[in-house]
Each structure stands twice: as C-alpha cells, then as structure tokens.
Structure 1
C-alpha cells in the first residue's frame, strides 16, 4: 500500500504554542552540536599547543565547506515546506531526494579539490612546517568522509520543513554522544585502539557523523516517506537543483558573511585595545554565543511555519508570525541584557584572570547585549524571507545589517572613543539593523498583489 502523503500541520492553530514546540527540540539539538565541537577541541588541546593550533587552522576551511551544506539544506527546506503547504507531495519527494543528490555531487568536487590543495592552502593560512603535517593528517581524513558531514543537514532540514523537530534532535544527540565516546579512545589509544593523535579526532568526527547520516536517511525514508528511489528524469533533477540553489547560494553567502564580520570586528578590537582587547572580544563572543542558541533555534523554528503558511496562501498567518517574532525579539533581547547585567562579571572570570580583560569582557556584555533585540529582528526577518523564497532579499538584509551597519559603526566608535566606543558602535549598528529589517520585513512579507484580497484564515 502506498504511504499517505504528509499533510501541512503548521498552517493553522495557536502560533506561539507551535513556535515554542518547534523551538525547544531545536535548542537541545544546538546544545548537542556545541558539545560535539567543544569535545573535539578539549581532547585535542591535551595533545599540546601545536596540535590545538593545527586544528584551529582547519576551522575556517571547514566553516566554508559547511556554508555550502547550510545553503543546500536551507534551499531544500524552504522549497519543500512551501510544497507541503500547497499539498504537492511529488515536489516534496523530488526536493528531498535531489537535495541529497546535490550534496553528494558538491562533496565530490570539494573533496577532490581540497585533497590536492591542502599544503598550499594551509601554508597560505599561516600553518608552520611543524603544524602542517598534523593539518594534513586531519584534513585528508575529513575530506574523505565529508559526505557524512554535508548530507545530514540536508535531510534534517527536510524533516524540519514538515514540522518534525524531534528526529533531527535525535540525530544530533547520537552524533554528539558518539563523538564524546570515540574522541578519547581514538586520540589517546584507549581500549586497545592505536593512539592516533589528531587523526583520531578526525576519525571520531567522521564515524559519528556517518552514524548520524545513516540515522537521518532512515528517518527521511521510512518515517517521512520523502525519498523517491525511482529512476528520475534528468530534467526533473536539474529543475530541483535550480530551485534549491536559487535559495541556497544567497544563504551560503549570508552564512559566510558572519565569520567575515567577526574577523573585521576582531581587527577593530585589536586596534582599540591590543592583545587585551582581542582577548576580551573573543571571550565576550564565546559567552554571547550561548545567548544566540535560543535565538538561532527560534529562527529555525519560524521557517517551516512561515513557509507552509505561504505555500497554503495563509498570508494573514505569515503576517501574524512576523509581528509575533518582532515582539519576541524585543522581549528576549531585554531578558538577555538584564541577565548579563548581573552575570557578566562572573562569566568573564571563567575566561581570564587579568583585570583589564575581565573589565572589558564585562563591558562588552553590558553594552552589546542591549542591541540583541535588533540583531534578532534582523536574523528572524531574514529567516522568514528565506522561508517564502525571497532569498536575495534575505541576503541583502543580513549583509546590510552585518557589513553595512555593524562594522562601520564599530569603526566609527573606535575612532572616536576607543574600545568603549567600538562596543557602543556595534550596539547602535545592531539596533539600526533591526529597525531596517522590521521596515523591510513588513513590505516584503506581504502577499502577492493579485492575492492581496485573501480572506482571513
């Protein structure tokens, strides 16, 4: 008997309740991934400074490759959720299947190119002759197993698009737990395993991700029924890839802009405060990242609600989601700021015992978190625009916020008032980015002109 097609479940009902039902599992999954990354860094750090530095050189390259995976996953999820809203089950299956196929093709190209450019690329990035052999060990293994890293985000995004946040959470928890178990065994040579050093960290990452890949593909096929294993027509595949990449390329650009923005701000911090300024900025950024987990989870949860509602032509519900998200951004921003007023100094002492670094880290959290409401409005508006297929507008908003407002105001603040001025500049840039995003979101999230007379749902 053929499986019954998935039905859109997020086009009606109490929106705040649905949003939090989707957000909470996503928070758990993001904590699991955070633990995954911290575990690798912690165990490799015990091998010595050179091993830790070698692993540090791999981060920007892995982040760049990850941006392509995020782009494909975002594109596939947006297209699939809107198809679900319209009740087009065939398009849903083709999008999920062809999105995974696209990730395989991209991995093949990236892995081959990466394998043959390890030495020149990482030498250019600054790896020393003693660090380069360790980088080579890690990246050869990573490139060989990159499919296990790039495919799961695509299948997880397809499941989230249907409103299923629990199974992606299970996948991330499985990956994190396996990595925690395998890292010390493979790195240090425990339980009869040979001591592999930094290569062990790569093997642990790939093996745990491989188990996650098998798990998520099983969920996608046997539970969601979104894999079409029939022989496809090439014109269907190419049409799917075009739809996915139309969303994915702009999103990958947005994803890449974040580390670029952080790199520029780090340079400004170095100019303003030297080594202590960079240390305080780095510590503040790490502490701030925990506050962003909830914000990012809400952003991910908004997408299937808005996309399904848009696909079902429930435009009033899309507007309701936009208004609720803007109010929630203000409330969460205020809560984050108040929490930092009381806890920032305690958090700063975890990262340093130097008085200047502690003082500037505390100041960072006091000032910059005041602008978080604006940053959340910017990020969540961008997510909603991606959900309805307006990826270029979403990218424009994100780039304007990060590179067009935050960085210039940080530079101006640093020029006028040094380190403190830089922090106020970042805060002001975030608030202005939120105001611009709120205005543009109201205009761009309107229904098509021909359907503006839609009846209320």
Structure 2
C-alpha cells in the first residue's frame, strides 16, 4: 500500500505553471476522444434515416441529465479527495474513492429502474411520435440496462485526476472512443456476420465501450493506487463520505443543467428570428465550437486538483499563483481562438453542411461566440476552483445568476434589437459580464486563511 501511495502526484511543490501544462496536454487528448465518441454515434445513426436521427435527439435530454448527475458525484469526489491528499489523509482518500464509486453504482440502479418503467410517458411528453418512440425505446432499453458503465468510470477517473494523474484517465477515454468507433458500424449495420441491430446496436456499442472503460478505470484505481477498500469502522463512516461528496456533488449536478437551459433558449430564439436555417446554424456552430473549446475544458479539468491539493495543504500562495496564471490564460486563449476562427470558421463548418445560408449564419455564430470565449473560460474555471475547495453554493450563485439573470435576458434583448446577429452579440456580451463577475467572486472567496489577495 505504501509503495502505491508514492505514485500520487504531489502538486504542493514545484512550478504550478509546469504542473498545469503537464496535466493539460493528456487531458486535451481525452477531451478530443470524448468529442469524437459523441459525434461518431450521431454520424452513424444519421445513416439510418431522419426518424432515427430524431429519435437520437429525444434521448439527449435524459442522457445529459444522467451525465450531470454522474459529473456531480465525480466533482464532489474529486474535490474532497484532492483536499484529503493535500492534508496527507490517506484513510479519507480511500474512503472517498471507494464510497464515491459505490454511491454511483447504487444510484444508477434506481435511475435504471425508473427509466425503464417510464419510457413511454416520458418520451411522449418530450415529443416523440408513433414513428420515433419505438426507435427511442430500442436505444434507451439497452442504454438503461448498461447505464452503470456510463456513470461509474467518470467517478474513478476523477479520483485519479484529483491525485494529479491525467495519463490514465486519458487512456480510459481513448479505450472508450476507439472501441465505440469500431463497434458502431458493426452493430448498427450488421457487418462481419453480426446481426443488423440499428438503434439498439448504437446503444450496445456505447455500453460495451463504456464497460471496457469501467474495467480499465477500476483496474487503475485498485491495482495502481490501492484506493478501493471496503473495510469500514462503522456505517457512519460510509454516510460521512457520501455527505462530503454530495455537499459538492448535488450543487454541481444542478448547475450543469443551466447551460442546457441557455442552449434551449438560444435555439428557441434562433428559430423565432431566423427559422430552420438559423437553428441549423446554431447546431453546426455548436459542433465546431466543441472542438475549439477542448483546450479550455482540459485546462479547467487540470486546474481542479492543483487548487484542491494546495488548498487542503493550506498553501494559499500557490492557489493565488495558479489563479493568476489561468485568468491570464483564459483571456489570451480566447483571443487566439478568435483569430483562428476569422479565416477558418467557414471552411471548417463545411465539414458539417454545404448549405450557403447555414454556412453564413454559422460563421457569424463562431466569430461572435469565440470572441467572447475568454469570459466563458473565466466563468467555468472559477466555478471549478470554488468546487475544488468545497464552496459549491457560490458555484450555484454564479451559474444561476449567469444563466437566468444575465445570459438569457441578453439573448432576448439582442434578438429584439438586431435579430440573429443581435442575439449572438447579446450572448457574447453576457459571457464577458459573467466572466468578470465570476472572477470578482473567486477573488473574494479564494483568499484562504491568510487573506491573500488575488490579482487578476
């Protein structure tokens, strides 16, 4: 056990800038793999026809809600585990890793049971028709049965990241992505003698690839780090672990739903001011944007264990130094990605559509949204910092205020003033404002006991 402990990444000494770079690079690869994973499913299902693609669309809200729940447990476990590592509390590290995984497994049994029993009324309420509902059920029946493999791996991966290990989570994501890419066409279209399974094949490919990821994750967490330990002093210890995880996890899960609220408002307003072409442009722009934001997502992921470990060790000067670096990086990266988007927005968008009207509106979407991406980075990264030190209520304040008070009204006002482009300008201005507000809150709440001021 002691030898395994030495494998932990100590983020309490050395250059925080170098730590951030070292941890960001493999995370970028993992994020790209995950993005490709999601696009692959949609791409192959689209070959089954419009009804199949629409059915896939109806599954997204449920998949995203379950994903938000999974992320909540992951973020909660990572926050507590990173701070425990900073304090050198190895017993708590064991408890949080083990109990976080156990919590995810028990929770999805409940989710799966409810999901299987409510498919007809739920998806009918979401708008599924007689043509699409059977396809939705075909996909979700398999998905619900295998949902434990969807929810559990992120919890194990977050435990490894909290300890400063970004390589093994990257390996897990690559295993999932590559296996999904291989299995999707085989199971959907019945290649190499396999039966043609259609939508069920798409779901089965996802589940099998996630099971492989789950096995890989558990192997790393148990055999490499020795974190899995089901020996309890008493039942109260388990409840205490779950309480610590959910203290951060529940607010984190809730706030992850608010970006979807903004996205829904954006799509609805786009339909109002620009019709189907505008909605298609938003959808296309979002796909392209998902690649552009991979680096910022990776930095946000790498940031959490650095802040968490140093906060747990009461090294507030290093927390201060890390925040200064990432705040500058947020602005610089936003400028760089905007300059790249100026000449490349249209040619890259052509990968997804050849409609000239859609391309024109997509170009405007990417230019405006990526121009303001620095503000969104500050907003997201500060939320991650606050979660990592166990201050989830401030994350809820930032996200609720950012979505309901700033972004959605900015969208509405912009659309009334200048239609589609005005709506996007409103979104961009809103992102810059919430970034500034988030930094202000982070500066106040992340001083630490020594009251170290953070210069941004």
Question: Same fold per TM (> 0.5)?
Answer: yes
Number of residues of Structure 1 aligned to a counterpart in Structure 2: 452
- 1:211 corresponds in structure 2 to 212
Kindly indicate whether the alpha-carbon contact (under 8 Å) linking 2:412 and 2:423 is maintained by their aligned counterparts in 1: yes
* Residue 275, structure 1, aligned to residue 276, structure 2: yes
- 1:341 corresponds in structure 2 to 342
Deviation string 1:276-306 (CA, Å, 9 cap, x unpaired) is 2212222222211211111111000000000
Aligned equivalents of 2:152 and 2:365: distance in 1?
37
Instruction: Report the more deviating stretch, 94-103 or 272-281.
Output: 272-281
Aligned equivalents of 1:440 and 1:118: distance in 2?
42
The CA deviation at 1:401 is: 2.2
Kindly indicate whether the alpha-carbon contact (under 8 Å) linking 2:320 and 2:452 is maintained by their aligned counterparts in 1: no
Aligned equivalents of 1:287 and 1:108: distance in 2?
35
Instruction: Report the more deviating stretch, 222-231 or 135-144.
Output: 222-231
- 2:230 corresponds in structure 1 to 229
Aligned equivalents of 2:53 and 2:410: distance in 1?
34
Mark the CA change 1:267 to 1:235 in structure 2 (over 3 Å): closer, same or farther: same
- 1:173 corresponds in structure 2 to 174
Kindly indicate whether the alpha-carbon contact (under 8 Å) linking 2:4 and 2:225 is maintained by their aligned counterparts in 1: no
Unaligned runs of 5+ in 2: none
The CA deviation at 1:420 is: 1.6
The CA deviation at 1:419 is: 1.5
Aligned equivalents of 1:359 and 1:194: distance in 2?
42
Kindly indicate whether the alpha-carbon contact (under 8 Å) linking 1:379 and 1:398 is maintained by their aligned counterparts in 2: no
- 2:298 corresponds in structure 1 to 297
The CA deviation at 1:2 is: 5.4
Mark the CA change 1:152 to 1:4 in structure 2 (over 3 Å): closer, same or farther: closer
* Residue 359, structure 1, aligned to residue 369, structure 2: no
- 1:436 corresponds in structure 2 to 437
Kindly indicate whether the alpha-carbon contact (under 8 Å) linking 1:283 and 1:348 is maintained by their aligned counterparts in 2: yes
Kindly indicate whether the alpha-carbon contact (under 8 Å) linking 1:8 and 1:84 is maintained by their aligned counterparts in 2: no
Q: Tell me, what secondary structure is at the counterpart of 1:350?
A: coil
Instruction: Report the more deviating stretch, 53-62 or 165-174.
Output: 53-62
* Residue 110, structure 1, aligned to residue 111, structure 2: yes
- Structure-1-length-normalised TM-score: 0.96
Mark the CA change 1:179 to 1:377 in structure 2 (over 3 Å): closer, same or farther: same
Aligned equivalents of 1:62 and 1:112: distance in 2?
15
Aligned equivalents of 1:162 and 1:12: distance in 2?
14
Kindly indicate whether the alpha-carbon contact (under 8 Å) linking 2:411 and 2:426 is maintained by their aligned counterparts in 1: yes
- Structure-2-length-normalised TM-score: 0.96
The two structures, once aligned, show a CA RMSD in angstroms of 1.6
Aligned equivalents of 2:83 and 2:351: distance in 1?
45
- 1:80 corresponds in structure 2 to 81
The CA deviation at 1:201 is: 1.1
Aligned equivalents of 1:353 and 1:326: distance in 2?
38
The CA deviation at 1:453 is: 8.2
Mark the CA change 1:374 to 1:151 in structure 2 (over 3 Å): closer, same or farther: same
* Residue 375, structure 1, aligned to residue 392, structure 2: no
The CA deviation at 1:5 is: 3.0
Matches within 5 A, 1:63-78: 63-78=64-79
The CA deviation at 1:4 is: 5.0
Aligned equivalents of 2:220 and 2:344: distance in 1?
41
Mark the CA change 1:122 to 1:5 in structure 2 (over 3 Å): closer, same or farther: same
Mark the CA change 1:425 to 1:218 in structure 2 (over 3 Å): closer, same or farther: same
